[in-house]
Chain A
Amino acid sequence: EVQLLESGGGLVQPGGSLRLSCAASGFTFSSYAMSWVRQAPGKGLEWVSAISGSGGSTYYADSVKGRFTISRDNSKNTLYLQMNSLRAEDTAVYYCAKVILVWQQLAGPLPGYMDVWGKGTTVTVSS
């Protein structure tokens, strides 16, 4: 069974740092791109970051660019999100998700959708 389990959330002061982890099992981790999506309290889903299967390509939403770093350790089947300079507006449940690439004519493989999601970990930024 494919499973994703996030950890590392907690309470942190504004300006602080936190590292989230996502342990994957049940599939060949290195063969898949992965993503982080967050959901602020009472709000909708917001894509945060994505990384290729090899880890060689990374992508970020403008709202976190320069502050967050996505990475992965394929030997440990684990995805990470290093979050620095945290702000109150970063308060959210953070989900990791497995990405399926879809072949598009003329464009090649593109991030199609997220087929498996973890249960999420809560990050609260407050003094």
Chain B
Amino acid sequence: QSALTQPASVSGSPGQSITISCTGTSSDVGSYNLVSWYQQHPGKAPKLMIYEGSKRPSGVSNRFSGSKSGNTASLTISGLQAEDEADYYCCSYAGSSTHWVFGGGTKLTVL
């Protein structure tokens, strides 16, 4: 069982928007503004998409956005495109002993 809870799968049609939730606790997501999101295509390394909850690295499309409310973080992808089909993982700092915790991952299918 992963420390952070994500839905196993979400789907949407091209052009639509989807949101992936990531629920943690007051010891991780709720305590720090240090949630990051990673995209992983099959057989590839993870790629940073969102950091510090809502910031986008240079080169990441502005169709990707992040937010947080309480112990739950969210990743929203607007204007879905075929290339967005991938696995998405949330990650949060969880204190000096635990360090980082990941969500179980969400498989995004673009219909």
Residues on B facing A (Cβ under 8 Å): 2, 32-34, 36, 38, 40, 44-48, 51-52, 57, 89, 91, 93, 96, 99-105
Contacts and interface: CB of A to CB of B under 8 A. Distances in A.
Given A95-B45, A95-B46, A111 B99 contact: yes
A26 interface: no
Nearest 3 CB-CB pairings of A with B: A113-B36, A47-B100, A113-B51
Contacts of B101: 47
Interface stretch (A11-19, A73-81, A115-123): A115-123
Interface of A: 35, 37, 44-47, 50, 59, 61, 95, 100, 102, 104, 110-120
Q: Which of B51, B99, B100, B101 has the most CB of A within 10 A?
A: B100
Q: Which of A46, A47, A118 has the most CB of B within 10 A?
A: A47
B107 to A, nearest CB: 11
A112 B44 CA distance: 22
B102 A44 contact: yes
A45 B48 contact: no
Contacts of A37: 46
A50 B99 contact: yes
Contacts of B89: 44-45
Contact of B47 (A104, A117, A118): A117
A117 B93 CA distance: 18
